[in-house]
Structure 1
Amino acid sequence: MDELIEPAPVKFSFEAPGWYVVGILFVLLLITSALLWYRHYKRNNYRAAALLQLAKKVELFIPQQRYDALVYESDLLVKRIAMKKYGRNNVAGLTASQWIDYINQTWKEKSFTAEEGQLLNQKVYAFNNNISKEEAETFVEKSKRWIKKHR
């Protein structure tokens, strides 16, 4: 047997047709990713606007010790978002415990309790201004989490 003749090593080059295919697929992946990100951004832009609006209400009402107005405004904001997202017919007529049950169904956390329903019914809608700062802050924090995490 004679000695094997080895061919010369093939030099690496991006001029091979396979690299053009990989490059085109990479560009398509980048474009698709950018479009998906933009669509997600546009769909969830209202969340950032709502959180900003809620922060302004907190800055306005906490120093004035108007905790009833703060709870009312945060509930109103959550209700406006829910009407836009889930339809006016499903949301507009809900009050107190029905409303709390409904918003708990729209997210995994389900942290609004029956006490918040009573807080809305007896203290906000009945204009009984005996809402404590802790109750108001708790309701606002739950509202913020709902705005961030609802489906």
Structure 2
Amino acid sequence: MTPLDRLHPLIEPAPVPFWPPAPGWWLLAVALLLTLAAALRWYRRPAPAVDEPAQPAPLNDPGIDPVRLEALAELALMPRPYDGAPAGAWLAQLNALLKRICRNHYPNANSHTLNGRTWLAFLDNRCPAAGLTRWMILVEGVYRPECRLDDKAIQGLYQAVDTWIRKHA
């Protein structure tokens, strides 16, 4: 007899049942279903409402020139920094709009080189009714970090710029 004959016969492994899966597979199935449900919910969510841009206030003066009309429309569409939002960008937009108007209406005045009080004085010389010299924040606010205005100041400055655009010489 050989030593190999003394070995026990091979034992076949028992078949592993397909069902029920191990606990880890249950967790994976639940995670997969939750992911699928979240993806479907995200895909079927309603589209966010798009805010319509504010329309400019109707102009009562039919004889207003197209440049002023366009400037007033641009002014009306500028988003105002209400509720304590930073106002630096809005003030920069106002200044840029006023500079473009001045460059168009007063090409020889070199208004684009003015700044600070001289810029506000130039604006007030063209339209004293607007009273822009009292709005020093218009020229300083752009350079202040986190410049914020209250709602009353925003509305007052907006009205002053609107008046200047409508009535400047």
TMscore range, shorter length = 0.5 to 0.7
Instruction: Give the CA deviation at 1:45.
Output: 0.6
The answer as to 2:55 corresponding to 1:55 is no
Does the Cα contact within 8 Å between 1:68 and 1:131 map onto a contact in 2? no
Q: Where does residue 155 of structure 2 map in the other structure? A: 137
Alignment match of 2:102 (pick from 74, 82, 86): 82
| Bigger radius of gyration among the two | 2
Alpha carbons of structure 1 residues 79 and 127: separation in structure 2 relative to 1, 3 Å? farther
Number of corresponding residues? 108
Greater Cα offset, 46-55 or 62-71: 62-71
Distance 2:131 2:144 in 1: 23
Does the Cα contact within 8 Å between 1:107 and 1:150 map onto a contact in 2? yes
Task: Let me know the Cα RMSD of the aligned residues.
Answer: 2.6
3-state DSSP of counterpart to 1:65 = coil
Q: Where has structure 1 moved over 6 Å in runs of 4 or more?
A: none
Instruction: Give the CA deviation at 1:130.
Output: 2.9
Q: Where does residue 32 of structure 2 map in the other structure? A: none
Q: How does 1:94-113 map to 2 (within 5 A)?
A: 94-113=114-133
Q: Please give the TM-score of this superposition, normalised by the length of structure 1.
A: 0.60
Q: Please give the TM-score of this superposition, normalised by the length of structure 2.
A: 0.54
Distance 2:108 2:82 in 1: 30
Please identify which structure carries the higher helix content: 1
Q: Where does residue 140 of structure 2 map in the other structure? A: 122
| Greater relative CO, 1 or 2 (CA 8 Å, sep 6+) | 1
Instruction: Give the CA deviation at 1:87.
Output: 1.5
Percentage of matched positions with identical amino acids: 20
Does the Cα contact within 8 Å between 1:104 and 1:111 map onto a contact in 2? yes
3-state DSSP of counterpart to 2:113 = coil
Does the Cα contact within 8 Å between 2:87 and 2:149 map onto a contact in 1? yes
Does the Cα contact within 8 Å between 1:67 and 1:132 map onto a contact in 2? no
Q: How does 1:7-86 map to 2 (within 5 A)?
A: 44-58=65-79, 61-62=81-82, 65-86=85-106
